[in-house]
Chains A and B, each alone.
Chain A
Amino acid sequence: MKIKKYLLIFLLLFTSSYAEVTIIGNKSTNITITNANSAFDYFTMAKGNLKVFYLKSGSANDEFFSFIGKDFNEMKKIWMRLQLTEGKIAVALNSEDEMLEKVASTRNSIGYVSTSKVNSNVKSIFTIK
């Protein structure tokens, strides 16, 4: 019985821990993100004329979408609407390494990765804590 209790506490502690995520941009990207709402506006391309990258899956996704207050499917529907009406395309990427590479090489672009992955080729815009 005691073992089960400790196991439960361990699992709760384990599941509540998370990897910190940072919103990153190309070095040419000149924007300021201060909260979830401004992040939402930039990632839904309502502001900034930015190229948006997102991850197809991964733990960084959970943290990021939870922060901006929309789940992954809702955001995909918003991006689909933008693509079909405005021709603005949010690009899906397979991994955080690819995200770093794409953001570093695409002018006026934004994305997000685990904070531990951020390198000097990209600009760190906002850290989700």
Chain B
Amino acid sequence: MQQLNLFFSKEFEGKWGNFNSFVNLELNNNFNLEKNYGNIKLEEAWVRYSYNDYFTVKIGLFIPAFNNFNEIKNRMPIIPYLFRPLVYEASINEIIAIQNFVPTNANVQIQGNVDVTEDITANYAIFAGNSEEKYIATNPSGVIYRGQDTTKFKMVGGRIGLKYRTLKFGISGTYDRNNLADLFEGSNLNPNIVRYRFGTDLSFSFNDILFEAELISVKGELKAAHKDFIKNYSKNVIVKKYSDLYNLSNELDNLNDTYNNINLPSPSDPNYINLKKQRMLLLSQIQQKQLQLQQMFTQLQKVSENRLFLGDTYDKLFYYLSLGYNITDEFMPYVSYSYYEDGLDARFKDGMQQYSFGIVYRPITEVVLKAQWTQQNIDKINYKSNFYHAGISVMF
């Protein structure tokens, strides 16, 4: 089973207004603790207090209101896709990180609706939380435990929108930091790049037609020194790492030679103890250097990979459009197109396109059978791949 979400929800009502609590536990990839398959994640856990239509506050861990698709990207029974528009697809998150484009979680959000006319409503949401997940500690160190964010960087953002029945339009934005420590490792540059995300969304269902579209643009405050470092990445990092590796390898050879040149006399010799101690000390140094060499080699592999995919600017762009038509209540074919561009990744610097055609069959509201064909293209490198997906989403 690809994904199972367990939702728990409880509403409370009092003289001060309504409270609502919500927990979403997500289990992925045939989760099995005994066999060490898959993973389990606390995706959301929040409490919402609604004073009136104009003022609602949400506190806890939740997906913030940024554009339209962000909040529902994991709600498989209500979306038509099996393979989602490019930056939202979790299975390729290691290649295209979702959080580069949308905030994946926040901790406090104030939202509300205001009537513009009798039929049109304006809505707003302002949210705040930690900066991206890359700042969360993954190795315990001293008093810092795994999963703790020790940085001062915070993410703030919001969305304002207009709604007329199912027609929704909005503009969104965030301000936070992007952790580029991997890229700027070994330099004196600040790797915490100020990042701005801008988004706009439009969606509606009219008669039997469903339409949704989004655009996200991401800008980063890279200083001239950052750009220069990226431009000269080979010289600044790779050549230096190779040189360090070469020096370390020489040191190791010297230590090995010294070790081999110390011949132990017979145990009755008065120098025996001293020489034995020297050899043990050398052996320990050799082991340390070997470990360093191994680490350095891994680092070199990483920076070489960085170099291989390194672009020359920071800016990113994503948009998608989807159009579906309900032929009957149960049956809906749809087409979807998405485009992704990342100036910092040479693979996607000149754009990647994804075309999809899918069929959704919903025998009852809670059960959805889906089939989807997807083609991904990167014109510049003549990359073209076709994917076929079939699946079922059930809500019970």
Which residues of chain A have a CB within 8 Å of any CB of chain B? 34-35, 37-38, 40-41, 46-49, 51, 69, 71, 73-74, 76-78, 80-81, 83-89, 107-108
Contacts and interface: CB of A to CB of B under 8 A. Distances in A.
The range of chain B's interface size is 20 to 34
Interface string B1-35: 00000010101010001101110000000000000
A49 B17 contact: yes
Interface of B: 7, 9, 11, 13, 17-18, 20-22, 48, 50, 52-53, 71-72, 75, 77-78, 113, 118-119, 121, 163-166, 205, 329, 362, 365-366, 395
A4 B331 CA distance: 37
B17 A41 contact: no
Contacts of B13: 107-108
Contacts, number: 70
B22 A87 contact: yes
Given A81-B78, A85-B72, A107-B13, A49 B7 contact: no
Max chain A C-beta neighbours (<10 A), residue from B11, B20, B78 = B78
A41 B164 CA distance: 9
B52 A49 contact: yes
Q: Which 6 A-B pairs have the closest CB atoms?
A: A87-B9, A87-B22, A76-B365, A37-B119, A84-B75, A49-B50
Contacts of B366: 80
A102 B395 CA distance: 25
Given A87-B22, A89-B11, 12 more contacts: A34-B118, A37-B119, A46-B113, A46-B163, A47-B53, A49-B17, A73-B365, A80-B78, A83-B7, A84-B7, A84-B78, A89-B9
Contact of B72 (A48, A71, A84): A84
A111 B365 CA distance: 21
Nearest to B120: A37
B107 to A, nearest CB: 17
B118 A85 contact: no
Contacts of B205: 74
A84 B118 contact: no
A35 B7 CA distance: 34
B113 A47 contact: yes
Contacts of B72: 81, 84-85
B7 A87 contact: yes
Contacts of A81: 72, 75, 78
By DSSP majority rule, is chain B's interface helix, strand, loop, or mixed? strand
Contacts of A87: 7, 9, 11, 20-22, 48
Given A37-B165, A88-B20, A80 B77 contact: yes
Contacts of B78: 77, 80-81, 84
A14 B199 CA distance: 53
Nearest to B5: A84
B84 to A, nearest CB: 16
> Which of A35, A74, A80, A85: most chain B Cβ within 10 A?
A85
Contacts of A107: 13
A125 to B, nearest CB: 16
A65 to B, nearest CB: 12
Contacts of A88: 20
A43 to B, nearest CB: 11
A46 B365 contact: no
A37 B9 contact: no
Given A38-B119, A84-B77, A48 B7 contact: no
A47 B7 CA distance: 23
A84 B23 CA distance: 10
13 contacts: A41-B121, A47-B113, A49-B17, A73-B362, A80-B77, A81-B75, A81-B78, A85-B71, A85-B75, A86-B22, A87-B7, A87-B9, A87-B22
Contacts of B22: 86-87
Nearest to B52: A49
Contact of A83 (B9, B71, B166): B9
Contacts of B362: 73
Contacts of A49: 17-18, 50, 52-53
A89 to B, nearest CB: 7
Contact of B118 (A35, A69, A76): A35
B165 to A, nearest CB: 6
A38 B366 CA distance: 27
Contacts of A76: 365
A80 B166 CA distance: 15
Q: Give the interface centre of A69, A73, A78 by most chain B CB atoms within 10 Å.
A: A73
A63 to B, nearest CB: 18
A40 B165 contact: yes
